[in-house]
Each structure stands twice: as structure tokens, then as C-alpha cells.
A = this chain, B = another copy of it.
Amino acid sequence: MVQNKVFMYKSVPDGWPVPGKDLTVEDIGFDEAAPPPKGGFTTKNLYATYDPSQRGRMRHETVKSYSPAMAVGKPVVSVHVLGKVLKSDTPKIKEGSTVLMMSHYTEEYSAVPESAVKSTQVIEPKPGVPLTAYLGLMGMTGMTAYGSLHEIGQPKRGDVILVSAAAGAVGQAVGQIARQEGLHVIGSVGDDKKLDFIINELGFSSGFNYKKENISDAVKRLAPDGIDIYYDNVGGELLDVALANMKDFGRIVACGTISTYNDGSNSTRYGVQNYSAVVRKRLRWQGFIVYDPTIIRWKKERDEKVAQWIADGSFKSVDYVTHGMDHAVEGFLGMLKGENLGKSILKVADSES
């Protein structure tokens, strides 16, 4: 038996998750000598992603939503876990290969059953594309950004787009794609370091720190003629301000409402007041989940374009890495607090060998 630390989900948080109570790190052990599951394989894991949607799955099982509630007493489910294959009982997955597992436990070692082989992707990195990009721009996050921006946002060269949580995983991908396609890109962030980052590193046209400047003033200052596309990751007050500043026939891509995710059962929620603009300005406000067929159908185009943009240097794959399973809880809470620049990743093992 070797040590197998896992990021454990102990109880349903009410509001902000409490470390040590709702979330812990525990060693459940792993038998390296055991054969792989029949038709399956075993891995030593390298990376796991942190995603805000994990918070949504930490709920009572009776509350319905698009993705199932996580099971209390089991490890936290990550959207992607990247691992090296130790042993395999399936010809589809070779020993020594690098695999990307979907909706997988956050753990150091995995015994993966045959049923999960179908959703496992063998990664052969394209030249110039780092392995971690497959957790972000080339993974679910990039798919989210690319698919929804095109499917719902209908971007045209010269359009003005406002992106919220602009330095986050999805936000920086949306902003870079939009910049690449000739849009005027404005980012909203909650930190001056992030503001500097999106403008000077990612090439956004402009941005503002919503914690420092009045949001309405900032949007009017940066988009005096209004907004064609609002890419909404946060909901709340910025959504209201965006509604008030949309141009006629504008599109709101409803990707997430992260400002509401840690509302406890007793907290009062922000109410959006400017919804009359939907009629008056003929807005189209539409939600999606990355696994919807209308979003996934952009995959081939995303795979090609984004890989090329990363490889030719015009696109940054930005990772924000938490080192080691011992820090898994902090890393998760850090992402919920918005400490990350770009994609939040947990580096499960300290070495990739």
C-alpha cells in the first residue's frame, strides 16, 4: 500500500464551505500491486482542475440541477483529472500514456472502471501546446468559452464585448478569443493585479476593477456607445449594469452566476432590476451548459483554432497552480474567493515522473 491522499467531501456546506468540517484531505491508501479493474486501468494522477461548478454539486441530493449532487463521504469530483497510466486492462488505453478523465475523483491514485473508459481521452499534446492546456483552453473551460461565445454571442468584428470575471479561467479564454476575432474587449475584475494582467498580458482593450470603481460609471466610461455582447460569469449588480448599457439587439451569454454560489439558505439574493431592457432593446439572453449539443458542435473548430493560437504565441494558456494534495482545500477556497489568475489547477503529485 502507498499513500493515496484525496480531497474529501464530508458534508453539504451551508454558504461558505468550512475546512475540516465540509472539506478535508484524507489518506485512503492505494494498493500498487493490485491488478487494474477488469476492462479498466489504474493511474498516478498529475493534475486536477478546480471549477466553480464543483460548488454547485455540493448540495443536498434532493435539489435538482443539470449535474448530479456529489456524494457525501466520497472524494470531491473534479471536472478533469490528468494522470499517467500505471496498468491497463483495455487495449484503448496504453500503459505509460497520459489520460484526461472527466468528472473524476480528486485523488493521488485511481482505479478506473471499464465504464469510465469511454469518457477518458488519451492526450497527445500538439506541438507547442503544454500539457496543462488540456485542463483549460483545450479542455472544458476552452470549450465553454469558444462554444458559447459563438453559439449565443454571435460575435462580429468591431462588436463591443464586456466580459465579467475576466481574469478567471473562462473569462480570459473568452476575452482572448474575442480579441483574436477583432472585437473591442472590456474586462471586469476584482483586483488591480488582474486588471494589469488582462490588459498587458492578454491584450484586452480595457478593463476596470469593480471593487474600486462604481460599476455603472466604469461601463459608461469604457463603452460610451453601449455593449453588443455581455459575457456573464457572475450575475448580480454587474449584470444589472450591463442590462442598462446593452445596445439594441445585444446578446447576453449566461455562463454562470458565481456571485450567487455561496448564498446561504438565509441570505438575501440580489434582484436584477433592469430586466425591462430585454424588451425595449430586444435583447437575447440565453444560458447553456458546455455539454449541450449546440455548444459541443464547436469542438472541432475550437481544437484547431485554439491549439494554433497557443502554438503561434498569440494566445496564453494561463494556469494558477496549487501545489500538492495537502493544500487541496485551500486551493479550492482560493478559487471560490477569486484568487486565481486564469485556470485554477491542483498539482496532485509534485513530480510528473
Contact = CB atoms under 8 A, between A and B. Distances in A.
Interface of A: 65-66, 235, 239, 248, 254-257, 260, 269-273, 275-289, 292
A248 to B, nearest CB: 8
Contacts of A276: 235, 257, 260
Interface hub of A257, A275, A278, A282 (most chain B Cβ within 10 A): A275
Contacts of A275: 235, 239, 254, 257, 272, 275
A319 to B, nearest CB: 25
A287 B278 contact: yes
Contact of A286 (B254, B273, B284): B284
Chain A binding surface, main DSSP class: loop
Nearest to A292: B282
A286 B282 CA distance: 7
A239 B278 CA distance: 13
A283 B280 contact: no
Contacts of A257: 275-276, 279
A177 B248 CA distance: 28
Contacts of A283: 254, 286-287
Nearest to A289: B282
Contact of A288 (B260, B269, B271, B282): B282
A254 B270 contact: no
Contacts of A292: 282
A278 B286 contact: yes
A239 B276 CA distance: 11
A270 B277 CA distance: 14
Which 4 pairs across A and B sit closest by C-beta, in order of nearness? A271-B271, A279-B287, A278-B287, A285-B285
Contacts of A280: 65-66, 287, 289
A235 B279 CA distance: 10
A26 to B, nearest CB: 31
Residue of A66, A255, A256, A272 contacting most chain B CB atoms (<10 Å): A272
Given A66-B281, A270-B273, A282-B289, 11 more contacts: A65-B280, A66-B280, A235-B275, A254-B283, A271-B271, A272-B273, A280-B287, A281-B287, A283-B286, A284-B285, A284-B287
Nearest to A281: B287
Nearest to A288: B282
